Structures are given as C-alpha cells and as structure tokens.
C-alpha cells in the first residue's frame, strides 16, 4: 500500500527539514516547497494527502495557496503561523483549513495533529506499514519486532530505531551527529559515542547472518547499512 504523502510548505528550510525528519520517521512520504507558487504547482503534480502550510511565504502567501487548493481539492490543510491573533485563525478556518498550529511549535505535536486530521478525513496513518525486509532480516516498527534468521531477537527501542533508520536508507552514509539528530532527536545533547555503543550491540545480534548486507563503519565519517545484490527481499 502506498505511503501517505505530506506536503510541507515553509520558506524556512530548517523548519521544513525538522518536520520532514519527524514525519519520515513516522512512515510518511514528504514533499517540500519553499514558496507559494511552487506549492501550488507541486500540489497538482504530487496530489498529497495532507498539506502543512505556512502563511508568510514568498511569491504567493499561504492564504492564497489555501484558496487555490480549495478550488480543486478537499485535501486536509494544517496552517502553520507565527501569528497568534484570533482573526488569523478564523480566516484560515473560513478559507477551508482543517487545523492550525502557532509557531514556535513542538514537532511531536504537529505530527500528532497530522495523524488526527488524517483520521478525521478518513485517511488513517495506521495503514502505514513501518517495516523493512532483507535477506534473513525483518525490522518491524509497528510491534518493535526484530526477526533475525527466522528468530525473534530482543532489542531495546533505541537500537530498533537506529537499525530501522539505517536499513530504510540503504547504502546512505550517516555521521554520528546526523544519527543523534535523526534517531535520538534534536533535543539530545549527549556524547556521539552513544551511537558507537548501539552499533556495537546491534552487530553482536546481526553478525554472520547474511553475506548480502552489513552494518558497516565508514572510517572517518560514520555508518551505513550496506546492501549488496540480492540483499533486499
């Protein structure tokens, strides 16, 4: 089943990237637009299931983007605004927005709002299957199950999240700091050796299971989940 597609529209690249990371972690596909004109064009070509829409945008503002979308679609829209005035909230809802979030916001709250709006729209994110499969390896994040060579292996949640993140992006190299940001979260300020410890524990569980994939150290850079031909199920 196709993944639920979210379009994030904001001229702040950092906000877009943070939202993308959290939404992808929850199993969504994410499209980014940094101005209103691009947003309208991408909406027509990508047909997203929900739009996170900032108000203050270059080219065309969020109000007009909302109007353009509503001319052709009932796609759920959540407005992102730095303005807290009641007028702005009422206007957004009158234009057809389904919800609004005032900046600065908690990213986890935004993700919760996305799921709630999708449920109300009848497009529940529970259909998203957060699972990757490789030769003799299944990582299922719905139940936090790690199946290695047909056997269920016990692994703490953070080890599972780290392995799932790497295996979901095969052959991509991550630095330790990137993994801390993307797996542990932006609020984490710990030692990068935390990543090394978790990788070491995962290797102990996965060692010698398959010649088709490997949790590999890229010296001087970080780690990657290397997949060779025939490794993907």
Note the pLDDT tens digit of each residue in 166-187.
998 899 999 998 888 778 764 4
Phi-psi region of 230 (alpha: psi -120 to 50; beta: other; left: phi over 0): left
DSSP calls for 48-99: -SEEEEESS-SSS-HHHHHHHHHHH----EEEEES---HHHHHHHHHTT-SE
The pLDDT assigned to 193 comes to 82
pLDDT at 230: 59
Q: Domains in the chain, start-ordered, CATH in brackets?
A: 5-127 (3.40.50.2300), 131-227 (1.10.10.10)
Long-range own/partner contacts, residues 17-26 (CB < 8 A, 24 or more apart): 18/107, 18/186, 19/52, 19/107, 19/110, 21/181, 21/182, 22/107, 22/108, 22/110, 22/111, 23/111, 23/114, 25/161, 25/165, 25/182, 26/111, 26/115, 26/125, 26/128, 26/130
Tokens of 164: 């799932």
* Tens digit of each residue's pLDDT (9 = 90 or more) over 26-41: 889 999 999 999 999 9
Cβ atoms of residues 24 and 30 within 8 Å: yes
Half-sphere exposure of 57 (CA within 13 A, CB side): 27
CB atoms within 10 A of CB 165: 21
Structure tokens at 116: 């709630």
3-state class (DSSP) for residue 219: coil
Name the one residue in this structure whose structure tokens are 């299944």.
138
Count of residues for the chain? Answer: 233
d(CA 212, CA 231): 4
What whole-number distance in Å separates Cα of residue 100 and Cα of residue 87?
A: 12
Global pTM reads: 0.57
Any alpha helices (H) in the chain, and if so which ranges? 13-25, 36-46, 62-72, 86-94, 107-120, 157-167, 176-179, 193-206
Confidence (pLDDT) at 1: 43
Look-up: residue for tokens 């979308």? Answer: 69
- Residue 211, φ and ψ in degrees, nearest 5: -90, 0
pLDDT value of position 83: 64
Q: What is the pLDDT along the chain (233 residues), one digit of tens a residue?
A: 457 899 999 999 999 999 999 998 888 999 999 999 999 999 999 999 999 999 989 989 999 999 999 988 989 999 988 766 555 667 777 788 888 888 888 888 898 889 888 887 776 554 456 789 999 999 988 788 999 999 999 998 889 989 999 998 899 999 998 888 778 764 455 677 889 999 999 999 999 999 999 999 999 899 999 998 755 65
Q: What is the pLDDT of residue 123?
A: 62
């Amino acid at each position: 089943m196709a993944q639920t597609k979210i379009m994030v529209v904001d001229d702040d690249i950092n906000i877009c990237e943070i939202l993308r990371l959290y939404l992808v972690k929850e199993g969504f596909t994410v499209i980014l637009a940094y101005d209103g004109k691009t947003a309208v064009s991408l909406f027509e070509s990508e047909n997203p299931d929900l739009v996170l829409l900032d108000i203050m945008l270059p080219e065309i503002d969020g109000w007009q983007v909302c109007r353009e979308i509503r001319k052709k679609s009932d796609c759920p829209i959540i407005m992102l605004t730095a303005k807290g005035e009641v007028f702005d909230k009422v206007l957004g809802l009158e234009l057809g927005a389904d919800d609004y979030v005032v900046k600065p916001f908690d990213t986890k709250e935004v993700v919760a709002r996305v799921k709630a709006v999708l449920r109300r729209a009848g497009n529940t994110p529970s259909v998203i299957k957060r699972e990757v499969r490789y030769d003799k390896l299944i990582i299922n994040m719905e139940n936090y199950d790690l199946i290695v060579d047909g056997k269920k292996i016990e692994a703490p949640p953070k080890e599972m999240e780290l392995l799932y993140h790497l295996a979901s992006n095969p052959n991509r190299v991550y630095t330790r700091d990137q993994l801390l940001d993307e797996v542990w979260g932006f609020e984490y300020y710990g030692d990068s050796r935390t990543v090394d410890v978790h990788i070491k524990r995962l290797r102990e569980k996965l060692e010698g299971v398959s010649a088709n994939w490997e949790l590999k150290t890229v010296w001087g850079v970080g780690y990657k989940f290397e997949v060779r031909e025939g490794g993907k199920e």
